Amino acid sequence: MARKEITQYFDDLSGTPLESHEVNVVRFALDGTDYIIDLSAENAEKFREMFRPYLAVARKHAAPVSGRRNSGAARNSKAREIRQWALDQGKDIALRGKIPSEVIEAYNQAHR
């Protein structure tokens, strides 16, 4: 029997369902803690608008550069893309954890 899993995204604030292309991943830090929130375009704009007065008077702080690293966000974005592709292809893949190397290889072959 064939099985197809569908990934559904939601606005973290309102709980509204979103299509994958509608998800706005907003990253921010406060008091030394980094945060990530997935929002609709409307809520992402409201979030940014809320911070504008503070950003206008704040100083930017660049983190020290210690060699080139692949960001966790970039890895997660690619993993999400590979998982969605695998699900669309009808492959049986977990929504979390390590992606099997054969799935990654198949994805890479399909996207050359």
Per-run averaged pLDDT (10 residues), the chain, 112 residues:
87 94 91 92 96 92 66 72 87 84 88 81
Give me the amino acid identity at 70.
N
Per CATH, the number for 69-112 is 4.10.320.10
Query: Which among 38, 37, 34, 35 has a CA at the least distance from the CA of 21?
Result: 38
Residues in contact with 65: Cβ distance below 8 Å, sequence separation at least 6, in sequence order: none
Give me the pLDDT at residue 98, please.
87
In sequence order, which residues have a C-beta less than 8 Å from that of residue 17 and are 6 or more positions away?
A: 8, 9, 10
Q: 87 with 7: CB under 8 angstroms?
A: yes
CATH 4.10.320.10 residue window(s) in the chain:
69-112
Q: Where in the chain is the domain with CATH 3.30.60.230?
A: 1-60
CA distance 85 to 96: 14
Q: Which residues, 6 or more positions from 4, have their beta carbon under 8 angstroms from its beta carbon? A: 87, 90
- The CATH number of 1-60 is 3.30.60.230
